[in-house]
Chain A
């Protein structure tokens, strides 16, 4: 049973438009969430994170929104650029152990 779900395996967005990647979770004990980005033949790299005490965190073109009541978070990329084409992973932690639970990933394709 996947505790972190990314229901869209892929997403195609026009360059310059907004990309919205979604992530749902089932464990209400999760209190910290992270997004990682992965290019082919490379390891994932950290993108942005959010604590459950916040509902929004922004870093340049990237914003993560957290809706605790819906157990849902989303990553917004504005404006989308060709270099944003990658697989995006959502991950969550409940703080009680040293594990991260990861989603299956969403492949984002930015069309020129």
Chain B
């Protein structure tokens, strides 16, 4: 089954404790992206990747890191989480471009205390 998986689905952590949210897709997609969803703001892009070892900042990259060492995986790293990073995070992938149909993971609900 074609899918995007994210782990964990729910995470409660404390300020400053490094964490990684994993994202994996099995569709051989080149384009992958991370979004955060906040009430009243919709989806905002954090980082995206056009292919292996090619990443770029989205609208809200501060406080986040990503890597794309393999085509299928695109982890999101919070080196020192802060309460303003409490949000719902989505990973997405598409064939080659942001205007191709993007397939989204189920989301990760992160709470930073």
Contacts and interface: CB of A to CB of B under 8 A. Distances in A.
Contacts of B31: 98
A85 interface: no
* Max count, chain B CB within 10 A of own CB: residue among A43, A44, A95: A43
Interface residues of A, number: 26
A43 B35 CA distance: 11
A67 B99 CA distance: 19
Contacts of A89: 42-43
A98 B43 contact: no
Interface string B13-39: 000000000000000000100010000
Contacts of B41: 104
Contacts of A32: 99
* Max count, chain A CB within 10 A of own CB: residue among B35, B56, B59, B104: B104
A98 B101 contact: no
A63 interface: no
B107 interface: yes
Contact of B59 (A43, A93, A99, A103): A99
A93 B105 CA distance: 21
Interface in B69-113: 90, 92, 97-99, 101-107
Interface in A28-49: 32, 34, 36, 41-46, 49
A41 B56 contact: no
A41 B106 contact: yes
B56 A98 contact: yes
B62 to A, nearest CB: 16
B107 A43 contact: yes
6 contacts: A89-B43, A95-B99, A99-B98, A100-B98, A100-B102, A105-B42
Interface of A: 4, 6, 9, 32, 34, 36, 41-46, 49, 89, 91, 93, 95, 97-105
